[in-house]
A and B are shown apart, each in its own frame.
Chain A
């Protein structure tokens, strides 16, 4: 194990920022810490770096307990959201900073910095000052600076949070390529679930100082372990209802729940692409009114409202969308093809429940 966190807690005054978080990071992994602001993810990262002192729990790097090691001695690279470059030093001097502190020989410094300048495509900029660089360039300098002393772990705190959308996309690809190239164990914090999905090999989802789920992007997306994860990762329709005679009836929708006891209230979740919609009122069993059509670039999102006032989101790709002639306010038919019961505390069923297939209705292909 490269990094191990055991029972980490952190208290800021009366605020419990992190409560009992444990996880392991494998050598060479690129791991995303994902959660809304205030979920404790940054505190966890800063505790690993030694910039924050935990109130409880242990942190191990390379099998060694580092709780009592100072930041300086942990041999980590840290990248800050707002770059934190030394404004009074040039790009070269910024990258060389850690090497000078560690008393590398001038020739070696020269060589290492040149190497990183090339790796990060900063060659022509070595004599510039940070204020003469764009946001994306600054963050690349910051990453180069953190990598220069060959840290055993790279920690990035919202590394792309301060740049605009286009540069953010570029930097994400940079990080992935860099990680493929250097294979340094990297943890990065983000509040952007799309970014976490795209960049990380595994994701840890945080909420309110607690670890909600750890797994591959596909796992947290397809099999959310908690209601929070289901709501936070990707769009999901979530309906609440009560079990009665093995069925959860919500409006005119019926979800079979043969293994659940009666009168238990449950949450039913289904992704928008499991909601099939047709302008042919006979196509599917359920009926609704089309409220909105959103163009998302690669796909369309439809918002429909049932007679009972339930609002559901559907998603279809462009090809599928073109087969229909949708108009806002027209009556449509729809079906939910897959659903799952969302895990809730104290629920008498295993979480996550496997997705279940629903009868879509009278198909007339």
Chain B
């Protein structure tokens, strides 16, 4: 009896929080027919939003993989003053509201600040443009790669790398042929989480982008704008598309996990 109650309550919880909203969103997207859905998803503003989101995600992914790897390697392998503090700071983006992150960027790159003036004289537009949007998304996604790689590096240790050295491999060969391949599942997890988060980022980007139509309006901003403009089908259609992408990413992640569990064992 108790068992049924618990299982039932878990189903209800999932239905209320996940399954219900998703199904309702799907139904509402096609409220005015499949043609209306298609028109909303393919209209220039929506396409521009998708493209912009894709660009930001791509840049963020590359930066995150490179610096995430370096950061994880340094934090695990090097002993230096302030290491513990840096390790503690990695999780900060999880606990800071994206809106606050965006606001900090506004303050940092505002026209009156040193940085703002500097980039202003160079003619580089940071705020209400791509650079600030990338920075904001980086802030939100920064922990993912580092947090995946750090424990992995700790369990792997340095034995295999030392073995490679005794077999004649130089530092570069050790890194490319041993370290990186051994971290591959960490990269897969870190990358998928980064992509998922980058696609969905809203708060920080809203603050720093200015939400300018056809210029700095990402897919999520487009959903918000459509909703505010009472274009419910438009909002629903783009939202459903993003949701499908997230779902696909999640599936990839689960498949990768199963594969990794089979090979690492």
Q: Hey, which bits of chain A sit against chain B, CB under 8 A?
A: 49, 51, 70-72, 76-78, 80, 82-89, 97-98, 101-102, 129, 131, 142, 145-146, 149
When the two chains form the complex, which single residue of B159, B160, B168, B263 contacts A101, counting CB atoms closer than 8 Å? B168
A144 to B: closest C-beta gap in Å: 12
Please provide the 5 A-B residue pairs with the shortest distance between their CB atoms, ordered closest to farther. Answer: A98-B167, A84-B159, A78-B166, A84-B163, A88-B181
A72 touches B162 (CB 8 A): no
For B163, the chain A residues whose CB sits under 8 A away are 78, 80, 84-86, 142, 145-146
B36 to A: closest C-beta gap in Å: 49
CB contact under 8 A between A149 and B265, given known A84-B163, A86-B160: no
How many residues of chain B are within 8 Å of chain A by beta carbon? 20
Nearest CB in chain B to that of A49: its residue: B166
For A83, the chain B residues whose CB sits under 8 A away are 159
List 15 other contacts, CB 8 Å, given A78-B162, A86-B164, A146-B163: A51-B166, A70-B165, A71-B162, A71-B165, A72-B166, A72-B169, A84-B163, A86-B178, A87-B182, A87-B264, A97-B177, A98-B168, A101-B164, A102-B168, A146-B166
State A70–B162 Cα separation when bound (angstroms): 12
State A80–B159 Cα separation when bound (angstroms): 7
CB contact under 8 A between A51 and B184, given known A86-B160, A87-B160, A131-B263: no
Judged by a CB distance under 8 angstroms, whether B95 is at the interface is no
State A97–B165 Cα separation when bound (angstroms): 11
Nearest CB in chain B to that of A87: its residue: B182
CB contact under 8 A between A71 and B160, given known A88-B182, A131-B264: no
State A142–B162 Cα separation when bound (angstroms): 13
For A129, the chain B residues whose CB sits under 8 A away are 263
Nearest CB in chain B to that of A76: its residue: B166
State A141–B64 Cα separation when bound (angstroms): 36
Judged by a CB distance under 8 angstroms, whether B113 is at the interface is no
* A-B interface contact total, Cβ < 8 Å: 68
Q: Hey, which bits of chain B sit against chain A, CB under 8 A?
A: 159-160, 162-170, 173, 177-178, 181-182, 184, 263-265
Nearest CB in chain B to that of A70: its residue: B165
A101 touches B182 (CB 8 A): no
For B263, the chain A residues whose CB sits under 8 A away are 87-88, 129, 131
When the two chains form the complex, which single residue of A70, A85, A98, A146 contacts B160, counting CB atoms closer than 8 Å? A85
Nearest CB in chain B to that of A84: its residue: B159
State A71–B168 Cα separation when bound (angstroms): 7
Nearest CB in chain B to that of A78: its residue: B166
B165 touches A72 (CB 8 A): yes
State A119–B213 Cα separation when bound (angstroms): 71
CB contact under 8 A between A149 and B168, given known A87-B264, A129-B263: yes
A203 to B: closest C-beta gap in Å: 24
For A70, the chain B residues whose CB sits under 8 A away are 165
A101 touches B264 (CB 8 A): no
Nearest CB in chain A to that of B166: its residue: A78
For B164, the chain A residues whose CB sits under 8 A away are 86, 97, 101
When the two chains form the complex, which single residue of B162, B167, B177 contacts A80, counting CB atoms closer than 8 Å? B162
A88 touches B184 (CB 8 A): yes
For B165, the chain A residues whose CB sits under 8 A away are 51, 70-72
State A146–B182 Cα separation when bound (angstroms): 20
Can you offer 17 A-B residue contacts whose CB atoms are under 8 A?
A: A49-B166, A71-B165, A80-B159, A80-B162, A85-B163, A86-B160, A86-B163, A86-B178, A87-B264, A89-B181, A101-B167, A101-B169, A102-B168, A129-B263, A131-B265, A146-B163, A146-B166
For B181, the chain A residues whose CB sits under 8 A away are 86, 88-89
State A88–B159 Cα separation when bound (angstroms): 14
B166 touches A71 (CB 8 A): yes
A190 to B: closest C-beta gap in Å: 18
A15 to B: closest C-beta gap in Å: 15
State A148–B169 Cα separation when bound (angstroms): 14
A101 touches B162 (CB 8 A): no
